[in-house]
Copies of this chain bind each other. A is one copy, B any other.
Amino acid sequence: DFAKIDHHRHLRTGFPEVIWGPGKTPEQIIQIMNTMARHSPVVMATRIEAAIAEQLEAEIPSLIYYPTARICALQSGQTSFQASGVISILTAGTADLPVAEEAAITAQLCGFQTQKLWDVGVAGIHRLLSHRDLLAQADVIIVVAGMEGALPSVVAGMVDCPVIGVPTSVGYGTSFGGVAPLLTMLNSCATGIGVVNIDNGFGAAILAGQILRT
């Protein structure tokens, strides 16, 4: 009653509805997961803190928790969504990992292959340049960056595939919780970048998956 699960979404968009954890009680999440599990081979909930995850695991023993990604999942067999190609995921720094892992786990649970390249921010540009080949062969690239968020601009100037920019709230002072890298990505002088909300690794993965299926 408190939730109208969109079972139909899989048919329409090729992805299941995913539960957004914040603002829901553990009881509500459990009830929604159980209902969805009757219709969908994969059930996911995002933004689940460790303490909540423990409560969910107590009720749903088959639940898997990915702590860095803060994702809970129920998976009955192999998910059927698939595409050829790989989603490359880059981070500028180590502190961007939780967002990058949210993207990676989401992509994997939805049936996509991923490739990770962590901590290649522009303060040491040779770290990125030494992976030129990897970039040249990419199909779609998710770039996760906080602080000034300049990495997507540099990457997009080097590749011929779509780039998804994910600004993170990593930083302080004038990063304003991720506004600084968000503006950087929206104003990029390089083209071919689509931007998602601050810290939205989940959304980046879905968009990347949809691009791979095109």
Interface residues of A (CB under 8 A from B): 1-4, 6, 8-9, 12-15, 17-18, 20, 22-24, 28, 32, 47, 85, 92-98, 118-127, 129, 139-140, 147-150, 153-154, 156-162, 164, 167, 169-200, 202-203, 206-207, 210-214
Q: How many copies does the complex hold?
A: 8
- Inter-subunit contact A4/B119 (CB<8 Å): yes
- A187 partner, pick from B95, B171, B214, beta carbons under 8 A: B171
Q: Which residue of B lies closest to A212 (CB)?
A: B214
- Inter-subunit contact A176/B180 (CB<8 Å): no
Among A94, A160, A186, A193, max chain B CB count under 10 A is at A186
- A23 partner, pick from B95, B119, B125, B210, beta carbons under 8 A: B95
A148 and B157 contact, Cβ closer than 8 Å, known pairs A172-B22, A175-B183, A198-B173: no
- Inter-subunit contact B3/A160 (CB<8 Å): no
Give the shortest distance, in Å, between A140 (CB) and chain B (any CB).
6
A173–B198 alpha-carbon span in the complex (Å): 5
